[in-house]
Amino acid sequence: MKVTVKLKIPLLFLVFFVFIYTCERETSPANPNIPPNTLLANIPVEDDTLFALVSLYWDGEDYDGCIAGYEYRYITHHIFNGDSIVQPWTATDETSVILPFESSDVLNYQIFQVRSVDNMDDVDPTPDERRFYTVQTIFPETEILVPKNNQQFFVIEQTTDWWEGVQLTFTASDKDGEVVEYAWAVNNGDWHWGLDTTVMITPDYFEPLDGDHIIKVTSRDNTNLVDPFGDSITVKLVKPTFDKNILIIDETIESKFPIPLNTYYKDADVDSFYARIFKTNNEWDFEKKGMPPKDILGRYKLIVWHADNLCSFSSEADNHKLSKHIGDVIDYLNVGGNLIMGGWRILKSFAYAEPFPKTFQEGSFIHDYLHILEADETPLVPSDFVGAEGKGMFSDIKVDSTKLAWAFPFSGKLAQINTMPRRAGFTDVIFRYICSENSQLGIYRSSAVGLRYYGTVFNAIVLGFPMYFIEEDDAQTMAAEMLQSLGY
């Protein structure tokens, strides 16, 4: 019995000791977390003078855990201005940064600081730092290329395949660095930042649509400087009403008719001719008043443009002027206007210095809007255009030989007629070349001299000859059939 008692007492004592020791271990406070440490690389060199865009590198260590991230900031002392700027702490997971330091003074003293953050959210209480100078940086400069100031544009309430908005093209330069971002705004609206230097501003940015609007641009360089001035223009937007039918734009210069017609026929003769055949007195004299403004063009559903004088194209000044204002015509067509254009050497005027036949490339008005792929021109001598064969709904027409009877070297016929040997889709030939039976230029017989383009937004008719020298009865029929084809 005594032996049994002696064995139980030590065992109970051992269990009690273990219980007390365990309780003491569980209630003792944990070891405090050791904050992390941070070390910057030895570049840039302390107190060096640098360009404002600086690369910095660092590392962190934590003896009782791990690094979860970093925070950095910098303080700028303007040496000459005497003030200072303290930037806020920025969090990052990286161990390097390319930083554009604020450097608006001639010389700037920079203090860059970085601190580690460990897995317990403790930060390095003694951030590492690097001190250096930066020289003054130059602001970027921004310039609008398109549109021009006070330029007018047609505008409609929704975009289409032909009208995508108002095109804005701009550029920027930076004398001591590079431009990395651009921005544009309309009136007092928000800035829209991006990398594109050509944008289409859609109608939802203009409120209201009609009237003057200010378009502004700016840019940012690689030191984070934003052009403080930028560039701005005013554009006038016109919403077309199309409340009238026909406007005749008279670009015919009677003094450039063949000799002696240039002294016989006057502007009033041509004006009254077109007024009679199209049955309208809505006429705009291009020679006297230049290109009609948008608020005039936008009232008419159809523009009839005639340039019936003969051009030698000896210089640009001798050229027809339609090609110089084709941007306005394109703007008009894109929003739903329609066009009849014709004249003496009218297609040649779009490439007056180039040999014919000419292939018109994609992107040109003749290619994209008239769907003419190639144009040609008959020679001056011999003159043998006596009329045109109408196709489809169109009647035959004859040249008015009496008007040209004394004209040198035409002798009652027309010459230098523009033909259209190759066309693209959505076009119909409406007139084909008729020459004298004994003509030496039989190769042009039945060539297309009139074309009708059927578009989804606009329609167009182009004539490779001057209507004024067509017999008036035929010209009246011709005008009526063209208007009928266009829905008037």
The fold for domain 37-135 equals Immunoglobulin-like (2.60.40)
pLDDT of 29 reads 60
Largest separation between any pair of C-alpha atoms in the chain: 159
Domain ranges of the chain: 37-135, 141-238, 244-486
Residue that the structure tokens 């550029």 belong to:
171
Rg (CA), the chain: 40
pLDDT of 28 reads 53
Q: How far apart are CA 154 and CA 328, in angstroms?
A: 9
Q: Which residues pair with 375 in a beta bridge?
A: 358
Q: Running DSSP on this structure, what letter comes out for residue 324?
A: G
Reported CATH class of domain 244-486: alpha beta
- CB count, 10 Å around CB of 287? 13
- Judge whether 141-238 and 244-486 match in fold: no
Which H helix or E strand runs over 221? Answer: strand 211-221
Tell me the DSSP string of 378-420.
--SSS--EEEEEE-TTPPPEEB-TTTTTTSTTTTTSB-S-EEE
Can you read off the two tokens belonging to residue 36?
Answer: 């992390």
Q: Residue 114 class from Cβ within 10 Å (0-12 exposed, 13-18 middle, 19+ buried)? A: buried
pLDDT values of the chain reduced to their tens digit, one per residue, 488 residues:
344 444 444 554 444 454 444 444 444 567 899 999 999 999 999 999 999 999 999 999 999 999 999 999 999 999 999 999 999 999 999 999 999 999 989 999 999 999 999 999 999 999 999 999 999 999 999 999 999 999 999 999 999 999 999 999 999 999 988 999 999 999 999 999 999 999 999 999 998 999 999 999 999 999 988 998 999 999 999 999 999 999 999 999 999 999 999 999 999 999 999 999 999 999 999 999 999 999 999 999 999 999 999 998 888 888 999 999 999 999 999 999 999 999 999 999 999 999 999 999 999 999 999 999 999 999 998 899 999 999 999 999 999 999 999 898 898 999 999 999 999 999 999 999 999 877 777 789 999 999 999 999 999 999 999 999 999 999 999 999 999 999 98
Torsions phi, psi for 250 (to 5 deg):
-95, 105
Q: What CATH number was assigned to the domain covering residues 141-238?
A: 2.60.40.10
